Structure 1
């Protein structure tokens, strides 16, 4: 009986150790929030909003500040405790330009961010890249009176990273 109890305890210890070896969504949220990123829990996983990774109008080029932020995120994503997570990189644009052009531009933005993650050690096989164009704005592109809203458009030129919950 003692051997059976010891075996059960051993299996429980292994099980708990296995569970503790991967980040939970809560742990990822706390870790990324502590690094200064704005995050949110989503049904797909943890969304990382990149406020310093806005793009100039009609551009998919990353700034030096953006590259530094992506290096920070990569340090979390390359941690063995996050290695079971897939990563969605989702690009967006403002409302100026045709739908087809903006979808291409948003995919180019997602590619720029994904490439930076890969350069910083994230396995490319874990990364999915998507371009949504102007479909999902987070700020108004125009003022209520119809005038242009440059600040709102700037916020919409963005990329979000979703760290997918695979459990």
Structure 2
């Protein structure tokens, strides 16, 4: 069975059991995981990591793969069971460049992802866009010996989507 088939079965089960009025964090987590997204439950809500939405160096341009993934997420976020949740779109950069420049670039990345969600039907009033620059790396930008770490820097050029728990 494909991940989309599993997700569809999950959604149908919710509808049949009458539990589909509002997604719980667990249901949203399982649905997005079933679609192949790396997600984690956080005190703020459900965080969706978008490894396919890494950005090229010094760019906020979305790739075709990123557009496709964001279309899938948009489908979940426009579902009536998720439509009351707020969405945080948080942009990040690697460590090259000034803090001011990276904060602007990271906000441009968050804007690109948020705009793609809006173009897929998500109400822009639900979305908060944030640019964190190089403040929160998830991988080392340099090796322990001080040499550049291109793979780590690539992982830090990212956007995360937080589907906020309204409770």
Match of 2:13 in 1: none
In 1, the alpha carbon distance for the partners of 2:141 and 2:86 equals 31
Match of 2:52 in 1: 52
In 1, the alpha carbon distance for the partners of 2:164 and 2:18 equals 19
In 1, the alpha carbon distance for the partners of 2:18 and 2:42 equals 24
In 2, the alpha carbon distance for the partners of 1:18 and 1:28 equals 16
In 2, the alpha carbon distance for the partners of 1:153 and 1:26 equals 31
Match of 1:166 in 2: 166
In 2, the alpha carbon distance for the partners of 1:49 and 1:129 equals 15
- After superposition, the C-alpha distances for 1:12-39 in whole angstroms (9 at most, x for unaligned) are xxxxx99740000000000000000000
Does 2:130 correspond to 1:140? no
Match of 1:125 in 2: 125
Match of 2:25 in 1: 25
In 1, the alpha carbon distance for the partners of 2:65 and 2:88 equals 21
Secondary structure, aligned partner of 1:109: helix
In 2, the alpha carbon distance for the partners of 1:20 and 1:32 equals 16
CA RMSD of superposed structures (Å): 1.2
- After superposition, the C-alpha distances for 1:57-112 in whole angstroms (9 at most, x for unaligned) are 00000000000000000000000000110000000000000000000000000000
Secondary structure, aligned partner of 1:21: coil
Secondary structure, aligned partner of 1:129: strand
In 1, the alpha carbon distance for the partners of 2:20 and 2:70 equals 26
Secondary structure, aligned partner of 1:81: coil
Larger Rg: 1
Match of 2:96 in 1: 96
In 2, the alpha carbon distance for the partners of 1:162 and 1:95 equals 23
In 1, the alpha carbon distance for the partners of 2:131 and 2:145 equals 29
Structure 2 unaligned regions, length at least 5: 1-16
In 2, the alpha carbon distance for the partners of 1:112 and 1:40 equals 22
Secondary structure, aligned partner of 1:80: coil
Match of 1:37 in 2: 37
- After superposition, the C-alpha distances for 1:113-153 in whole angstroms (9 at most, x for unaligned) are 00000000000000000000000000000000000000000
How many residue pairs match? The answer is: 151
